[in-house]
Copies of this chain bind each other. A is one copy, B any other.
Amino acid sequence: MAVKIYHGDILFTPAADRMEIHENSYIIVEDGVVSQICEKIPETYNGVEIVDYGDKLIIPAFSDLHVHGAQYVQRGIGMDCLLSDWLNHYTFPQESRFQSMEYAKNCYDAFVDEMILHGTFHANVFATIHRDATNYLFDKMEEKGMYGYVGKVNMDCNSPEFLIETTEESLNETEKYLAAHEGSKKIKTILAPRFAPTCSEKLITGLGKLAEKYHCGVHTHLVESIWEAQEALKLFPGYGSDAEIYERAGLMDHGPSIFAHVIFPSEEDKRIMKKHGSISVHCPDATVNIIAGIMPLQQMASENLKIAIGSDLAGGHGLAIYRQVARAVQLSKLKEFYEPNESKTITITQAFYHATKEAGSVFGKVGSFETGYAFNALVIDNMEDPWTKITAQEKLERFCYTGDDRNIRARYIDGELLK
Q: Which residues of A contact B (CB under 8 A)?
A: 73, 75-80, 103, 106-107, 110, 285, 288-289, 291, 293, 317-318, 326, 329-331, 333-334, 336-338, 345, 347-348, 385-388, 390, 394, 397-398, 400-402, 404
Q: Which 4 A-B pairs have the closest CB atoms?
A: A76-B401, A76-B398, A106-B387, A76-B402
CB<8 Å pairs between A and B, sample of 11: A73-B387, A76-B397, A77-B398, A78-B394, A79-B326, A79-B401, A107-B387, A288-B330, A289-B330, A291-B337, A293-B337
Given contacts A106-B387, A404-B404, contact A77 B394 (CB under 8 A): yes
**Would B334 and A397 count as touching, CB distance under 8 A?**
no
Bound complex: CA A388 to CA B336 (Å): 41
Bound complex: CA A103 to CA B387 (Å): 7
Residues of B within 8 A of A326 (CB): 76, 79, 317
Bound complex: CA A110 to CA B387 (Å): 11
Q: In the complex, how many angstroms separate the beta carbon of A89 from the nearest chain B beta carbon?
A: 12
Which secondary structure dominates chain A's binding surface?
helix
Find the B residue at minimum CB distance from A106: B387
Contact among B75, B80, B106 for A329, CB-based, below 8 A: B80
Bound complex: CA A291 to CA B338 (Å): 10
Residues of B within 8 A of A293 (CB): 337
**Would A398 and B75 count as touching, CB distance under 8 A?**
yes
Q: In the complex, how many angstroms separate the beta carbon of A240 from the nearest chain B beta carbon?
A: 27
**Would B330 and A401 count as touching, CB distance under 8 A?**
no
